[in-house]
Structure 1
Amino acid sequence: MKTCPVCNNQSVPGYANHCPNCGVTLTAYKKQTVEAERLRLLGGELRLLTVFFVQLIGIEKLIKRDTDETIEKHIQDFLTNIEKIIQDYDGTSNRIIPDFRILGIFGAPHAHYDDPLRAIRCASNIQDWWLKSKKESKFLRNVDTRIGVNTGRAFFGFVLKESPFLTVIGDTINTAARLTEISQQNEILMTKTTYNAVLRYADVTHIGEQAVKGKKTKVDIYRLSKIRTTPRVTEPQRMPLYGREAELKKLIALADRLADHRAVYCAINGQMGSGKSRLKEEFAFHLSRNEAINHFETNCSVDVQSPYYPFRSLLRRFLDLHEFDSQDTMTKRIHDVVGQRELSPPIAKGIKHLLLTDIGRLRSEDIRAVNDEIYASVRNFIRSECRQKALVLIFENFGQADVMSKELITYLISELEDEPIMFLLINAPDKFLQTASIPVDRIDLKPLSKKDIYALIRHMLTNVDKHLADFIYREAGGSPLFTIEAIRNTRRNKIIKKVSGTWCLEKEQVLVFLDDLYGLVMSTIDSLASNARLIIDYASVIGYRFSFRILKELLAWPDLKAQLDYLIAEGYVVLSSDGEDPVYIFRHNLLKDAAYQVLPVRKRKEIHQKVASLFEQVYRDTLSTFYEDVARHYQASDRHARAAEYFKLAGDKAKNLYAIDQALSFYEQVLNTKNEIGDELPKTLYQDVMLNLVDIYEIKGDIKKMERTARERLADARQDKDLKNEVLFAERDAYALILLNKTEEAEQLLISSIDRCDEQMVSILAILYSDLGMLYANKYEYDKCLINYNLSWRTAHANNIREAEIVCLFNLSNLHKSLGNYEQALDYLQHGLEILIDAEDIRRNIELQYLIANIDYEIWNIEKAKGLLAECFMTADSIGSFDAYIKSALDLAFIHSLNGDVRQVEKYLQSVDKKISFLIRESLLAEIDLKKALVYFNNQEYKKARDYVVNSMRIAEKSYRAEIVFQCQRLLSLIDKQHDLEHAKKALELAELMKLPPLIAAALYRVTEIFSEKGDIERARYYGRKALLVYDDIKSRLNDKNQQHYVNRPEYTRLLEI
């Protein structure tokens, strides 16, 4: 035994690290001596404690059976072991010898943020130790334990001034003792206050409310079944849910409908403070107890909108990834999960686009492909998840979601309607709900009734004078948030007082802070203790969401976690994600904004600069996730050049995710910075931004702005003698001119740029040759076109530029197909499949397969074409090659319409319409409308056919798509019988202008048909012979097998008859 230097307790076990009486750490007692002296001076203080009693039952029987010495030794050993377990959890123990009890205290003399959890784990460990010891000791065979746990405020200190012992007293302690008395042997009971504090870790049986000795009100009791090592989902706030029972019941009923394997869509809307988040939390808590449903939650609020932010957050949770994980770790984890769940490899590719976005400069087609692959991957991954177990996805603050996330949600809602998934959108804009293609169950939260507000008041104040309740209701209305803050404010300012156990109104006055939301929020902030207020201040600068790592670097407090737990309990912040680096969010945006606004500007700038630097240090391996945040912080700290660097990177990321409007916004920030700081902004950074802006104008279809911007920057590059940027902007300028059909200017610019390229510029040289080939194709100078496509191919091949080789392959194949050189076109495609394109590159393989099917159709190998198209249709949808999917579906609809198979036609047209709603490209719309017109014509729906062909021709003429204009004129000659010859001759003129044999043959055949129908046999034969000559020329270039298919073309057989 040894003596405690603080309380003079002389019966401290020799091995003990803590005094069992006062809890002092004996190895470092000086600091706690100060604490004890402070308590001697003050007499004590109220502490939030978790306490438990361990009651030994059966000792009385031992007293009758054994000698006093034997009993004393065993009891001493029991108590000593129990005390040691309590000390292992950093708790304090007090012996109550006459009753064979030990009191375990957690929260005094020193508190921990997880004292309730420590206490429960300690109690569970004591029980496990006791049950194990019973099996090993005959003496313990008939001795059992009973444990009761409670959490609440209690007095801690010196009860008597002359007493040397620190202790605890109060109703909290008495309630724990009463639980011990009513518990069964080897059972742990806890009160609701303790359960609320450990809910995420404790599996319990709810016993219900019971009367206990010494208390007027019943105590809500839970029996501990199991303690978890890892937490469950975050529990709802402790405040009961008043007045929203019907809404909660509706949500639960909607979730139960998932058993029918049909999707459910719901939106919760309401004013701030109406209880949306509170209702959502109760619903999430209900879901956490439903073994048949998984649920995930993501918050859409960010300080700077980042493309797909809520989905990136969701995927991290699905994949158990942290924001600080390195790119290698994330890549491995993504592939591991996809492999373990036996998902298709393209899913990993799309997920990596989202979480590990490439910020290099991509072609517009590749950017669109990235977007399509993201859509397909997210859809397929979520579909896989909900097929394993029904799934509920909760989107908090959905109104603040970025545009890309809203579009993706709309797509998922359409695609997953036959899956057991529920989308719950909190604060979804009315405009979004009105445009949704499916019915959405709306829950619009109205103000609470007077009865419900009174119940809330009684919960917070227990006994309340009616006049006071009327006053609070009158001031706060039906808002639960306003009611809670009104009560807190009136208590702080002593507007109410307790008389004979009942709260009454001391003085009636207008609660000015309730007049507006800002006043309400400032009132809640001002009520915080200094440390808690400082956390709110710093967090408000970090952002709406803030990580523990960043905050800890700013505020190096040992009890920071406990302080944050307090702010969670008080409803200021919410734990968004747990783990090694917990992430918190403000419960209300206005709370963050109000705290930020009152900070001195100088202090704000200082914190912003620290935060920006911390992001670069703490998240250096995954900094791309935080480009937008770092940019914002540097901008707010007046480090404009640094901010511009990160805004540029954020723009690059957004652009490559097809988030065009967001990319424009970030790039405009760089341009604004350029206007402010001039030459301080690096020239290369500015030029890179301008080049990306030119690319964006192309994607948006604003070709005139693309051309104007490229021309301006070309002039700057020439003036700066910057050869690389001169050639880059010249290529962009020339490409825009081609799209505007200004071919002469474009030709001169491309030729001069090719001449200026040096040996370091082979990549851009391959593009220049390709552009020049495209230009000559538009001028119908096909020999020059072939020369330049081949030069592009050779340049790319010689320098191992695989992507440029593939582009050349597509260009050459399409050109030969247009010229009727079908065998050569097939040879290029076969070369691509065998040599250039990896088998794992499913997207490229599908694109090639579609082109082969298209050529097979022209050859009239219908069955082969149909088989390839069906394969394209199925695979393209799964990997997100939506252009190939739409084109395949339309071609299949057309082939089935030739045979009058209306059912199959409708099936494919519906598939197309479903995708067009979300994924249509304007460049593809003319082609889609034309193919629809052909299908409807074959179905004899002539009005629809006319509408679609007219719209197709309008778009094609605007974008200089001469081949589509030709097909439209040809089809109009079939629809518009009054002007059939006029349309047919326009089609023939176009075909001869373009010098494309297959089009010339088709136009001649249509003119032949018209003269034949009019009975003008001579002219019919004249045009028919000319058509047959062209068809024969095309046939002569085919191999024998393909010629056998070609002669079965309806046009060919009909011409032979004429």
Structure 2
Amino acid sequence: MSVCPFCNHQYNLKDAVFCTHCGTQLISEPKQTVTSDRLKFWGGELRLLSVFFVNIIGFEKFTDRDVYNKTTIYIRECLREIEDMIRSFDGTLNEIFPDDRILGIFGAPRAHYDDPIRAIRCAHRIKNWWLKKKSSEDLLDDVDITMGLHTGRAFFGYVLKELPYLTVIGDTINTACRLAEICPPHEIIMSQNTYDKVREYVDVEHLGERSVKGRIAKVDVYLVKDVKKKMEISSSQKMPLFGREEEIKKLITITEGIKENKSTFCIIRGQMGIGKTRLKEELENYLIENKSINFIETHCSTEVQSPYYPFKFLLRNYFKLNEFDSKELIAKKIDDIINIKGLTPIDVKGIKHLFLTDLRRLRGDEIRSINEEIYTSLKNLIRHECRNQPLVLVFEEFNRIDVMSLDFVSHLFAELENEPLMFLMVNISKESMATLSEVIPRLEELNIMPLSVKAIGDLVKFTLNDVDDKLIDFVYRTTGGNPLFAIEALRHVKRAKVIKEVSGRWYLEKEKRLPFLDDLYGVVMSTIDSLSSDYRLIIDYASVIGYSFGLRILQGLIDKPQLKEQLSYLINEGYIILSKNEHDPVYIFRHNLLKDAAYTVLPLRKRKEIHQHVAQLFETLYADQLSNFYENVGHHYLSCDHFKKAATYFKLAGDRAKNLYATEQAFSFYDTFLKIKKERGDEVPADLTREVFLHLADLYEITGNIQKMVKTATEGLVDAQKDKDLEREVSFTERNGYAQILLNKLSEAEESLLTGVNKCDGELPDILTLLYADLGILYAQKYEYEKSILYYNLSWNTARANDIKEGEILCLLNLSHLHRDLGNYEQALEYLNYGLEDIVPPDDMRGVVQFKQLIADVNYQIWDLRKAEAMLVESSTVSEAIGSTETYIKSALGLALIYTSNGNFKNAEKYLKLVDKKISFFIRENLLAEINLKKAIVYYFRKEFGKTRDYIANALKIAQKFTQREIECHCFNLLSLVDEDAPLKHALKAFKIAEMLKLPPLFAIVLFRLSQLYNEAGDTEKARYYGQKALLIYNDMKNKLNAEHRQCFALRPEYVRLLEM
């Protein structure tokens, strides 16, 4: 015995379709069951729907029981007919209401391109049918219907687990219900929302705004007077490419031009649907057939912006790296490929950083070094490939590129300008366009314009064969020449019978506005909903994973043996793209809108469940490579409200981005962490927060925002003191002290750093090494050089005693710099040679060339130009190969100075140009002062005094900004040589600074210049006074040198001139 779920009537008919007591349908039709399989799995989804209520009214007038019963039975039969009419328009019925109302639903479980139009046509047919029925049946004399229609978002699915019936809930449904209640008998009224979507298909009377129960805001309503005839639905066709002959020809010509060893940068721009991707595909087909030019395609779309995403995407394919490969296997695969390609490990050392990122807390210089190595490796790899065969690098969705990749693209182009290489960007944002325009002089642009009337005509003729010219003109004017819109317009006008066929020729009957062009949501949802349940389920899951999704993650969500075959079908149907086909295929949604539409309709609860499952799958399947997915895992945990884990992963993502010098992304990830902390403070561990503050302080130092560095270090210090976290407390003290040095607040810095040393109390050697080194810097800036040397030595001894190699190297560099500036050249060389021979590992090429460049610089000061030149040539060559940009620039500038002193201006000019190429976002701003100063010296000796003054002005501005007193002094001294109006004024300014700095070599140069000026002015007494003081200092420096170096030093031009004077 079974029970009707609505009236509780018991029945024993096993196959009963309707309840014998109330007439309610007991068994859903097979079609409805099939379409609801996926919804049973998800529980429901949020959809954009057009719904209407059909209310049966007048029953309250019946007093005779027999008449009431007969009428009720008849009405039940009428309701079945209404249901059939709704189904005939491919609508869905609400199965929950067992009363005198029917709810018609359009847009779920399957959406259509024209759901609002279907809904109004269906309602209008029901109205006409009812009027006809009423006129022929006496029982209906006192019975009427009313209908209310509304469009909006609503939840569609299974509301109660105990009732396996699909239904809809939400404000959209309530509004339609209330509209039906205020509707006049035998009429249809609709809301403004619906009218906006069907206005070209209906004749209406505007009733104005009406108050409805349950809504504060009034609803603007329309009474439907008439609806046009039933439309026909036709399927779309894939169009050939029309009207793009010139664009393809131009694109091919640009591409072929790279064979002349000249790099090209090309952008394909245009409105949505204009054919950008299609044009790119035509070029790729040409290149495949031609075979003389290679191409590599990468994508920039990602769920969360990740540093260097398009390059990592490209490199994974190039090196055949799978997402689940262990670190050891990744390293082996990269090594194997570079051996096959004939590259050296040094050539591509930086590539490993992208996949095997060091997550320790790195200092600014270390981070810059890693970034330079990544850049250089990418440059070397791309150069190698395009020299083997001309190469086109294709970037899809370039408008979504991350900041670091955008910078890389512009600098790669500059470095590889004489290579057979083309950068092809499909779609670009205004911001990216502005950035590239500043650095790329030859920027080819294909701005894809709307199709011509002829091209639209060809498209229309392909679809309909023989057509009238007026129809072509209508399609052209309506769509503005957009090919995608033209295709959809043809489908639309054919369905709506705006056109008619006469003797095989199509004519335009009446011009109409096509409102569907205003909203692509319906188009996209219709495309998705055309899939069967199994395929739609794949799209649902994939939309939660992200714009790109790996097979292994998807298999963890959907356990189906035919999954790969089903994915192949989705590829063939144009829903997704296979981007990497190895052991772990990765797929990408062909259009971001497709992914977004599928994701939006999933119920929030189900989305959260999938997000959590995806995060857990990442943790399980990619345990060895999880660092490459920190931001993705964080995103998924945040999306399922697992705040503690989300915070942890976003913190790790920030650490990784910071160590890759991706400062903008690092700030973004840390900001997400701090937002979680602010909203869910109790769920985020305090030690994580302190680590984030520490990394942020480092980031602010790197980006030059020292005020924020101080603020962040202070906040972290207070937090660490509260929890008595000594290690973090001392770390924040060091960060605060160093920031105060950068702000030239030396007293505050001294107090902070000495407090840190006291708190260490001999413990925490890593931090203590830094504190001592910072104090060495501090006292050097206070011109207390003995104290500076003392603390540098304390730092060195601490590092050496605790085997902290990085600390030892830093101390040796600091000590050598200071002794060089003090004129203790032999001592400086002793430190540098010791570091080179005993401390820096031989395979650390960056460290080796850095020390060699500094040794060369000291030799230049001694005036051993032969040895200096040889070492600078070596360091420039190696630093160029390994991507040590700063060392390369200093080596090249050193060579330019040496060649200038020898009168070899041609070679000097060559190295200056090479320096200009290398100046990029890698370079610290304060290094630019030194670069400009040395350029000014070169141009002075070339007697190009205009350029000399310009470079002095630039150097002086930067030096004063960063309190670089030594460079400021050199600038004023050089100005005294080129400013004929006030040479003594500049020389005296230099003298004042030199007197304050107390650096013998600097003081000697300034004294020598003053002696020259007074000699030129005829003041022999002052000339002799300053000259003798300068000579005394030079002799003192000379006497500290060994015999060989003394011979070289005696040849210094200033020294020779002083002896002559």
Shared fold (TM-score, shorter chain, > 0.5): yes
1:253 has 2:256 as partner: no
Tell me the CA shift for residue 663 of structure 1: 0.7
Change (3 A) 1:252 1:956: same
The within-5 A match list for 1:777-792 is 777-792=780-795
| Deviation for aligned residue 1:674 | 0.9
SS in 1 for 2:828: helix
CA contact (8 A) 1:890 1:909 kept: yes
Give the Cα–Cα distance (whole angstroms) in 2 for the partners of residues 956 and 743 of structure 1.
18
Counterpart of 2:997 in structure 1 is: 994
State how far apart, in whole Å, the 1-side matches of 2:1035 and 2:516 are. Answer: 89
If asked which structure has higher relative contact order (CA below 8 Å, sep 6+), I would say 2
1:267–1:427 contact (8 Å) kept in structure 2: yes
Contact 2:264 2:442 in 1 (8 A): no
Q: Does 1:341 align with 2:341?
A: yes
Q: Displacement of 1:489 after TM fit?
A: 6.0
| 1:263 equivalenced with 2:266 (yes/no) | no
Q: Partners in 2 of 1:300 and 1:708 — Cα distance? A: 35
User: Match of 1:372?
Assistant: 372
SS of equivalent residue, structure 2 residue 262? coil
Q: Residues 561 and 245 of structure 1: is their aligned pair in 2 closer, same or farther, counting only changes over 3 Å?
A: farther
User: Which residue number in structure 1 is paired with residue 841 of structure 2?
Assistant: 838
Separation (CA, whole Å) in 2 of partners of 1:835 and 1:797: 12
Residues 308 and 402, structure 1, Cα contact 8 Å, conserved in 2: yes
SS at match of 1:348: coil
Alignment correspondent of 1:1051: 1054
Aligned-residue offset at 1:264: 2.5
Aligned length: 823
Code of the aligned partner of 1:252: I
Pick aligned residue for 1:800 from 803, 816, 834 = 803
CA contact 1:485–1:520 (8 Å) conserved in 2: no
- C-alpha distance in 1 between matches for 2:567 and 2:499: 29
Contact 1:514 1:520 in 2 (8 A): no
Residue 915, structure 1, aligned to residue 926, structure 2 = no
| CA deviation profile, 1:498-518 (whole Å, cap 9, x unmatched) | 999888889986543222333
2:21 corresponds in structure 1 to none
Of 922-931 and 426-435, deviating more is: 426-435
The structure-2 alpha-carbon separation of the partners of 1:934 and 1:656, relative to structure 1 and needing over 3 Å to count, comes to same
Match of 1:440 among 436, 443, 464: 443
1:313 aligned onto 2:310: no
The root-mean-square deviation of aligned C-alpha atoms, in Å, is 2.5
Name the aligned partner's letter for residue 345 of structure 2.
P
Structure 2 counterpart of 1:693, from 686, 691, 696: 696
Verify the 8 A CA contact 1:468 1:504 in the aligned structure 2: yes
Of 442-451 and 392-401, deviating more is 442-451
**Corresponding position of 1:408:** 408
Residue 944 of structure 1 is matched in structure 2 by: 947
State the 1:946 CA deviation: 1.9
The reply on whether 1:856 has 2:862 as its aligned counterpart is: no
Task: Give the Cα–Cα distance (whole angstroms) in 2 for the partners of residues 426 and 738 of structure 1.
Answer: 47
Q: Say which of 1018, 1026, 1031 aligns to 1:1028.
A: 1031
* Cα deviation digits, residues 75-97 of structure 1 (max 9, x gap): xxxxxxxxxxxxxxxxxxxxxxx
Secondary structure at the counterpart of residue 289 of structure 1: helix
Deviation at 1:681, TM superposition (A): 0.7
Which residues of 2 match residues 220-235 of structure 1 at below 5 A? none
- CA deviations over 1:656-677 (Å, ceiling 9, x no partner): 1111111111101111111101
Shift of 1:249: 2.3
Deviations 1:618-670 (A, max 9, x none): 22221122111111111111112211111111111111111111111110111
Aligned to 1:922, the other structure's residue is in SS state coil
Q: 1:702 to 1:289 in 2, by over 3 A?
A: same
Identity fraction in percent = 55
- Residue 1024 of structure 1 and its aligned partner are, at CA, apart by 1.4
- Structure 1 match to 2:94: none
Per the alignment, residue 764 of structure 1 pairs with 767
1:718 aligned partner:
721
The 5 A counterparts of 1:528-677 are 528-677=531-680
1-structure distance, mates of 2:619, 2:505: 56
**Deviation (angstroms), 1:416:** 1.0
Q: Give the structure 2 partner of residue 84 of structure 1.
A: none
- Alignment partners' CA distance in 1, 2:389 and 2:927: 38
**Matching residue of 1:241:** 241
- Distance (Å, rounded) in 1 between the aligned partners of 2:840 and 2:263: 39
Say which SS state the counterpart of residue 268 (structure 1) adopts.
Answer: strand
Q: CA deviation at 1:875?
A: 2.2
Name which of 729, 737, 742 aligns with 2:740: 737
The Cα shift of 1:490 comes to 6.7
Unpaired runs of at least 5, structure 2: 1-29, 31-236
Give 1:350's aligned amino acid.
G
Give 1:966's aligned residue: 969
Distance in 2 between residues matched to 1:576 and 1:509, nearest whole Å: 42
Instruction: Confirm or deny: 8 A CA contact 1:335 1:348 kept in the other structure.
Output: no
CA contact under 8 A between 1:872 and 1:888: conserved in structure 2? yes
Counterpart AA for 1:890: L
| Cα distance change, pair 966–707 in 1 and its aligned pair in 2 (3 A) | same
Answer yes or no: is the 8 Å Cα contact 1:268–1:444 preserved in 2.
yes
> Greater shift after overlay, 983-992 or 700-709?
983-992
Q: Which residue of 1 aligns with 2:279?
A: 279
Q: Distance in 2 between matches of 1:545 and 1:483?
A: 30
Instruction: Give the one of 1006, 1009, 1012 matched to 1:1009.
Output: 1012
Residues of 1 paired with 2:463 and 2:541: CA distance? 30
CA contact (8 A) 2:320 2:582 kept: no
TM-superposed CA distance for 1:835, in Å, is: 0.9
Q: CA separation in 2, counterparts of 1:517 and 1:833?
A: 65
Please say which of residues 1011-1020 and 940-949 is displaced more in the overlay. Answer: 940-949
What CA deviation, in whole Å up to 9, does each residue of 1:52-91 have, x standing for no partner? xxxxxxxxxxxxxxxxxxxxxxxxxxxxxxxxxxxxxxxx
Aligned to 2:3: none
Q: Distance in 1 between matches of 2:747 and 2:854?
A: 31
Q: Is the 8 A contact 1:738 1:746 kept in 2?
A: yes
Cα distance in 2 for partners of 1:903, 1:874 equals 19
Deviation at residue 730 of structure 1 after TM alignment:
0.4
Give the 3 Å change call, closer, same or farther, for CA 263–954 of structure 1 in structure 2: closer
Aligned pair partner of 2:871 in 858, 868, 872 = 868
* Rounded Cα–Cα distance in structure 1 between residues aligned with 2:1052 and 2:1000: 16
The answer on whether the counterparts of 2:453 and 2:472 sit within 8 Å (CA) in structure 1 is no
Q: Pick from 849, 858, 882: which aligns with 2:885?
A: 882
Contact between 2:936 and 2:948, CA under 8 Å: does it hold in 1?
A: yes
Structure 1: runs of 5+ lacking an equivalent: 1-37, 39-236
1:451-462 pair list within 5 angstroms: 451-460=454-463
> 1:512 matched to which residue of 2?
515
Flag the 1:282–1:538 CA change in 2: closer, same or farther, 3 A: same
Cα 1:485–1:634 shift into 2, 3 Å: farther
Q: Is the 8 A contact 1:767 1:804 kept in 2?
A: yes
Aligned to 1:304: 304
SS in 2 for 1:912: helix
Matched residue type, 2:976 = S
Per-residue deviation at 1:364? 0.3
For residue 884 of structure 1, what is the amino acid of its counterpart?
T
Inter-CA distance 751–917: structure 2 relative to 1 (3 Å threshold): closer
1:822 is aligned to 825
CA contact (8 A) 2:643 2:683 kept: no
Q: 1:976 to 1:637 in 2, by over 3 A?
A: same
Distance 1:488 1:625, change over 3 A: farther
- Equivalent residue, structure 2, for 1:394: 394
- The question of whether the paired residues in 2 share the 8 Å contact of 1:896 and 1:902 is answered with yes
Q: Name the counterpart of 1:294.
A: 294
**Residue identity matched to 2:711:** R
Contact 1:937 1:945 in 2 (8 A): yes
Q: Which moved more, 1:840-849 or 1:481-490?
A: 481-490
Q: 1:345 aligns to what SS in structure 2?
A: coil
- Provide, for residues 767-798 of structure 1, a one-character-per-residue CA deviation record: whole Å limited to 9, x for no partner: 11111111111112122211211111111111
* Cα shift at 1:847: 0.9
Structure 1 residue 729, shift from structure 2 partner: 0.2
Determine if contact 1:475/1:514 at 8 Å carries over to the other structure.
Answer: no
Q: How has the CA–CA distance of structure 1 residues 510 and 1035 changed in structure 2, closer, same or farther, with 3 Å as cutoff?
A: same
Q: Assess if the C-alpha contact under 8 Å between 2:268 and 2:424 holds in 1.
A: yes
